[in-house]
Amino acid sequence: MLRIKDLVKRYGNDKPVLKNLNLEVPGESVVSIIGASGAGKSTLLRCINRLVEPSAGSITLNGMELTGLSSGQLRKARRRIGMIFQGFNLVDRLTVMENVQSGRLGYIPTWRAALRRYPQDDIDRAFHLMERVGIAHYANKRADELSGGERQRVGVVRALMQEPEILLADEPTASLDPKTSRQIMELLQALAAELRLPVLINIHNVTEAREFTQRIVGMRYGRIIFDGDPAALDNDAMDEIYAGVPAAEREEAEHTGHLREVAAR
């Protein structure tokens, strides 16, 4: 269970990006976060794993309060939080296997990582997961030789190598073509069920959010203004979430799968 209470994030003296936000994500659920650019979606995800430091409030994962941890405690806690990035965040000159093994850096001694002497159990697990997502045959291929969809699958396996208690995905399909985008969403949906893992996805593709996630959270101005079943995301809710996006453009966006990013104002 992820429990967020009264979360605030402010940069300097500016207005808060997140405003007393409250959210609970139970186990084995796939939840999408939608909203215009500037709504605070990415900031929310990055506060959860403290890539961004919250200004106030609490974030608890399965009973562990994350916001008050020291740097050493945080390093261990991050092992419990898998993260998938829009830009993949791979080391291009390293092989797929080496990139995947970076998901174990919180578990193995530094000397092993430096020498690339990974425990056999970790290698076996990596092959198992790579086989599951269809990239095992690329194990010794450099990351920069892969397509976008293949690179994102490497990112998924790297996150799963952490044996996380929750998976965060920050616009995981934004850099992909529509066909590959659907494949990645199908994969995340399937893995959540297989591994009994809660998944929280920041996504601009409302069509995919409706199809592949069990719950949609709509954000605007750093607040949650919709939280419910995809079937309940009607035109009124969309109007409120995407204020400032013309109706014609929104209709076109839903047909193509992608909403244009318009800064919330």
Q: How many domains does the chain have?
A: 1
Average pLDDT score, the chain:
88
Using DSSP's 3-state secondary structure scheme, residue 84 falls into: strand
Mean pLDDT score, 84-92: 91
Q: Which domain holds residue 99?
A: 2-256
Q: Residue 263's closest CA among 14, 7, 8, 17?
A: 17
pLDDT for 114: 75
Mean pLDDT score, 87-105: 92
pLDDT for 155: 95
Q: What are phi and psi of 107, to 5 degrees?
A: -115, -30
pLDDT in tens, 41-80: 999 999 999 999 999 999 999 999 999 888 888 888 888 9
Is 16 among the domain residues? Answer: yes
pLDDT in tens, 162-176: 999 999 999 999 889
More confident residue, 60 or 107: 60
Is 28 among the domain residues? Answer: yes
More confident residue, 251 or 219: 219
| CATH classification of the domain holding 25 | 3.40.50.300
Is 263 among the domain residues? Answer: no
Q: What is the pTM of this model?
A: 0.88
Burial letters for 12-38: b for 16+ Cβ neighbours within 10 Å, e otherwise?
eeeebbbbebebebeeebbbbbbbbeb
Is 42 among the domain residues? Answer: yes
Is 113 among the domain residues? Answer: yes
149, pLDDT greater than 60: yes
Is 264 among the domain residues? Answer: no
Is 265 among the domain residues? Answer: no
Is 261 among the domain residues? Answer: no
Mean pLDDT score, 209-234: 95
